[in-house]
């Protein structure tokens, strides 16, 4: 069967199913505490997705309160050494580099015959989009078996966060090839950072069954799923993060997009397509020793979620 037809067959049902309701249902299911249900689910998913528990800080399944705690598990510090290249970028997540290129004006390539525009990706903020004109970008896809915490790719300060409501199409390769402007259509969280080298942006793209996205500074962002763009200004707070520090987490699989201005990090747009990366691995061409950088101490023993501020209702 031709790939295009195969992709179309996989994608068409997504237009018909209630994606937000299914994601809410997944959010609840992932937090079931009935012992036999959670253990059966965990064992099935470990076998199905070949999840490597030897890297986890907690290797005893019964010690996880629910399946979500396993899915967002913390890893042993030595499992993900962080690249120590001065001023270099490291991968913020485990995943596969699905796209990497120079931004053509304000246009990013999604897949063959499909592209999208920076202003649309950034929630309509035309002025902010101008900072990344002719810059570089990389898109990293997280599969369900991947480590699902998100870390800082380089040292810097968070200046603001924007939640953009949207659809919840899958972000798997077949859907990326079929749905034009997918990353600018799906729900997403836009994190703006400043560094001594200039600004950079990280976009967390939601997807079907991604039951929640949360940050270490604001707690749970979704659900509930909003209907309006929401913006948080942190210019009066010292939200400084070191390279490799934890920023937040996804449920299930999803996608992270990194944007850098023109000339700041050309290597970001020169990643090998379909390259497998681990969190902390260098995204620059220069090789260097690695070291384990400090990460925030986050306790996932209760809900498997962080909440360092009051919950927000979007």
The yes-or-no answer on residue 145 being catalytic is no
CB contact set of 213 (below 8 Å; sequence gap of 6+): 189, 204, 206, 220, 221, 222, 248, 249, 250, 251, 254
The yes-or-no answer on residue 197 being catalytic is no
Place of tokens 């934890």: 246
The yes-or-no answer on residue 170 being catalytic is no
Burial class (CB in 10 A: 0-12, 13-18, 19+), 123: buried
Q: Does residue 192 sit in helix, strand or coil?
A: strand
Tokens representing 28 are: 């609840």
Q: What is the CA radius of gyration of the chain?
A: 19
Burial class (CB in 10 A: 0-12, 13-18, 19+), 112: exposed
Active site residue: 146, 151, 170, 260, which one? Answer: 151
CA distance 163 to 273: 28
Active site residue: 7, 94, 136, 146, which one? Answer: 94
- Catalytic positions are 94, 151, 254
């Amino acid at each position: 069967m031709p790939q295009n037809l195969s992709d179309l067959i996989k994608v068409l049902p997504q237009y018909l199913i209630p994606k937000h309701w299914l994601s809410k249902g997944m959010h609840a299911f992932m937090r079931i505490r009935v012992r036999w249900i959670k253990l059966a689910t965990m064992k099935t998913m470990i076998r199905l997705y070949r999840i490597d528990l030897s890297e986890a800080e907690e290797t005893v399944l019964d010690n996880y309160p629910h399946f979500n705690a396993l899915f967002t598990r913390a890893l042993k510090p030595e499992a993900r050494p962080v690249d120590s290249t001065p001023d270099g970028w490291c991968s913020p997540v485990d995943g596969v580099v699905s796209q990497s290129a120079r931004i053509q004006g304000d246009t990013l390539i999604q897949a063959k015959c499909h592209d999208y525009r920076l202003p649309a990706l950034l929630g309509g903020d035309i002025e902010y989009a101008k900072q990344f004109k002719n810059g570089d970008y990389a898109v990293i896809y997280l599969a369900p078996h991947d480590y699902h915490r998100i870390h800082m790719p380089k040292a810097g300060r968070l200046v603001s966060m924007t939640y953009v409501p949207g659809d919840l199409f899958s972000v798997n390769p077949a859907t990326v090839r079929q749905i034009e402007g997918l990353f600018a259509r799906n729900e997403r969280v836009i994190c703006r950072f400043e560094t001594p080298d200039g600004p950079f942006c990280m976009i967390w793209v939601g997807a079907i069954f991604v039951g929640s996205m949360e940050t270490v500074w604001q707690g749970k962002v979704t659900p509930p799923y909003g209907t309006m763009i929401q913006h948080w200004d942190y210019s009066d707070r010292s939200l400084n993060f070191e390279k490799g520090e934890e920023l937040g987490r996804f449920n299930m699989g999803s996608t992270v997009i990194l944007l850098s201005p023109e000339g700041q990090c050309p290597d970001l747009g020169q990643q090998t397509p379909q390259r497998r990366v681990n969190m902390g691995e260098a995204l620059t061409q220069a090789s260097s020793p690695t070291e384990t950088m400090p990460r925030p101490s986050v306790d996932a023993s209760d809900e498997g979620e962080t909440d360092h501020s009051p919950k927000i209702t979007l």
